[in-house]
Every structure is written in structure tokens, then in C-alpha cells.
Amino acid sequence: ANAGWVQAVSATSGLQGFWVGGDFVTFMDGSEAAASSVELVLPLPLVSPQFELHVANTGVEEVIVLIELYGEDGLQLATPYPRAIRPKGFFTAAAASLFPATNVAPARYIRLRCMNPFAALVVARAALLPGWAVVNALPASTSTMELYFPQVVDGAGGGGNWQSVLGVTNLSATSSNDVSITFTTENGIVLQTARRTLSPKGAIRESARSLFGLPPGYQNGWVRVVGTLPVTGFVSYADSIAGGVAVVPAQSRPRTNLLFAHIADLGQWQTGLALLNTNLRSATVEVFALAPDGSLIGGAANVPSARFSLDPGAKVSRLLSEWIPETQNRSGDGGFVFVRSDAALYGIELFFTRDLRVLSNVPAGGIAAGITYSPPSPR
């Protein structure tokens, strides 16, 4: 099989995108465009020794990337692996070949260092499920101390048999990090706060049910993470029966407009969104579905259900077709979703097969600075 990487360049500002891969029958996931930096932190989202590292040299000079494997306590689990990569070159390898003498199952993340900027991601294959998950590496210089996960579900309900797993990594290499992780129900009631002290370079990866001691039955809510030092994190969603799995990175900045760059809502596919209002006042939210050519499929301008109020501290998760039924009445699939609000929101999109055998994340984007966008009028 051929392997490589893609760089997209546009003379016009505001370009956004994501990629998705898999066989689209038994496994699939994707991610946004990866960040390039001289030091990256790459979470390992699944409890599995089966993961593949993909690294691209985004520069014009040869680089030597040092690959380090870390456990929960912040200690290295193996001797660092150095790898030279040619200008604009690409490297991929399975964990077993990078660290052949090491049991990589206890690993929580990979730290990659280099003298010049590069980008990386990991593809993790579930140990007990047929799915796979993809997550990008993030710059270790990230200064965020507060993270949000707009969707955390656990138990049988919401159309599936869900398990959510949260991961949080301490980005400080020298100091412990006191982290509080709070689960709030969908209607804004704080249910439980878990507190952990992460060692320097330490990390946790734990199911939501275990982390919060959730009561029996279906739980639907959102999570806030606050550290005393910079952190990064992710949440993975899996259907424990059908086997679909996807990973969504934490969000640190809400937006008054959100762009989701794909719609898959016909045939075997469905698209769902979760939106979170952390403000102290209600938000008036408008949702629009746009065709690939930018024309309006439907939205708040002509569909009453696509305009609604979201209470402070609350989240809402729906199928796109519940807000905009017109997505079901098209000859072809595709397009994008635009969300507009009078208060800044966090949001995610997942698209998936109706049997939940495959799930995929569509990252949230926003309108670039200096660009004004309004959805077109109904035809």
C-alpha cells in the first residue's frame, strides 16, 4: 500500500479541512489538519498495544525526530527512538517496531522532539473492538489550563451502548499538576468532580464511569478539566456492541460561529452534533446545512426547529436531521454545517453508520479573522 501526507495551500484565506480514512464498513476515523511544531505530544487514546505512528517533515531540511514513550507516572517506558526524515518526507511505523522490547500497553502518550517543525498523528486499533481511532499530536508549548468536552456519554441509550474514555496529559516536564475534572449533566447539573495530581509529564486515561463513579444507567453530559499548569486531552467514544470508535480532542476556546466540514446523512449514514453553552446566560442558536456548492439545504431561515435556545451550563446533542429534516431529501450526500450563536459555544460533530459499526470525528472550525460569512437565503 502507498503512504504519504498531504499539504493543502490556498491563495485565499480561511481554508479549512479534515481527513478521514478506513474501509468505511468496519472501521473509520479522521482528524483536522495537524499542527507543526518542534515538540509534540501525542496521546494514545485506546487501551491497546496496536498503534501506528505517522510523522511528516513539513520543512525543507532533513530532521531527526526523537520519539519518547511515556507511562501514567510521567516516566519513559523505553529507550528513545531516533528517526531521520528527509525534507517533506514521511515516516510511519507500528509500535512493535519502534519499541520491540517494551510492553507498550501501559503507555499513555508519545512525546516527539526535533530541531525543526514537523507534524504527527497516531492511528490506534482497539483491542476488543474492530474499530480504529485517530488523534493528532499537539504542540507541547500549548499553554491551555482549561479544557472542555461537549459530549460525554456512558451506558445504553441515545441509540447506542456507549463508553466514553477521557485522557488528560500534564504538559509540564518539571512540576506536578493538580487537575479537577467535572462531569455536568446535559441540563447543567454538576454531578461529580474527580481530582487527580499528575506527575511531571504524567497522564491519565480512564473511562468516564470509573473516573466519576457514575450511577447505573445511561448518562449524558459534558466535562470540564481545569489544571494548575497546562494540559491537553481527548475523549474517545465507542459502542461496546457494534464496535464503532472515534476520538475527539479537547476544546479550549468557544466560538460564536462553528463550521463542521462534512455532512453524511443519506443511506447508511447519519450525522450528529453536540453543542455546549458554558455562559451564564442562555444562547440563541441557529443551525444551517449547506450543500457542497454552498447552497442552502435548510436552516434557521426556513426551518423552525433549526433555531432554538440553549440554557446556561447546558448541552444539546441531536441528529442533524432532527434539526434540519431537509438533509434527508437530497439526491446526493455531502456538504457542511454552520452554527451561529449570540453566545460563544463549544461543539463537536460525529458522522457514523446507522448500525454504529463505524464512527468518525469532524473537527469544529470557525470563521477566520477578517472574513464575514452569512448562509445564503432559501431558494
152: containing domain: 146-249
- Is-contact 163 224, C-beta < 8 A? no
Within-domain flag for 379:
no
C-alpha cell at 369: 479573522
Contacts of 354 (CB under 8 A, 6+ apart): 268, 269, 270
Within-domain flag for 312:
yes
What is the predicted pLDDT for the residue at 1? 60
Last residue of a domain, one of 209, 224, 249: 249
- Is-contact 39 119, C-beta < 8 A? no
Q: Are residues 96 and 177 in the same domain?
A: no
Q: Are residues 60 and 123 in the same domain?
A: yes
- CATH label of the domain that carries residue 91: 2.60.290.11
Burial of 47 (0-12, 13-18, 19+ CB in 10 A): middle
Report the number of distinct structural domains present in the chain: 3
Q: Are residues 283 and 312 in the same domain?
A: yes
Q: Are residues 285 and 216 in the same domain?
A: no
Within-domain flag for 9:
no
What is the predicted pLDDT for the residue at 12? 86
Cα 249 to Cα 133: distance, rounded to the nearest angstrom: 12
Give the CA distances from residue 141 to residues 144, 308, 337, in Å, rounded to whole numbers and listed in that order.
Answer: 9, 38, 31
Strands (E), 228-363: 231-239, 245-249, 255-260, 269-276, 283-290, 296-299, 307-310, 315-319, 336-353, 359-362
What is the predicted pLDDT for the residue at 13? 85
Q: Are residues 126 and 167 in the same domain?
A: no
Q: Are residues 22 and 114 in the same domain?
A: yes
What is the predicted pLDDT for the residue at 127? 57
Within-domain flag for 314:
yes
Q: Are residues 351 and 266 in the same domain?
A: yes
Residuewise pLDDT in 10s, the chain (379 residues)? 677 899 998 888 888 888 898 888 888 888 999 999 999 999 988 766 678 999 999 999 999 999 999 999 999 999 999 999 999 999 999 888 999 999 888 999 999 999 999 999 888 876 556 678 899 999 999 999 999 999 999 999 988 899 999 999 999 999 999 999 999 999 999 999 999 999 999 999 999 999 999 999 999 999 999 999 999 999 999 998 888 889 999 999 999 999 999 999 999 999 999 999 999 999 999 999 999 999 999 999 999 999 999 999 999 999 999 999 999 999 999 999 999 999 999 999 999 999 999 999 998 999 888 889 999 998 7
Within-domain flag for 370:
no
Within-domain flag for 182:
yes
Q: Are residues 103 and 46 in the same domain?
A: yes
Cα 346 to Cα 277: distance, rounded to the nearest angstrom: 7
Q: Are residues 241 and 260 in the same domain?
A: no
Last residue of a domain, one of 139, 156, 182: 139
Q: Are residues 346 and 271 in the same domain?
A: yes
Within-domain flag for 374:
no
pTM reported for the whole predicted model: 0.95
Last residue of a domain, one of 219, 249, 279: 249
Within-domain flag for 285:
yes
Contacts of 79 (CB under 8 A, 6+ apart): none
Q: Helix count (H) and strand count (E) of the chain?
A: 3, 27
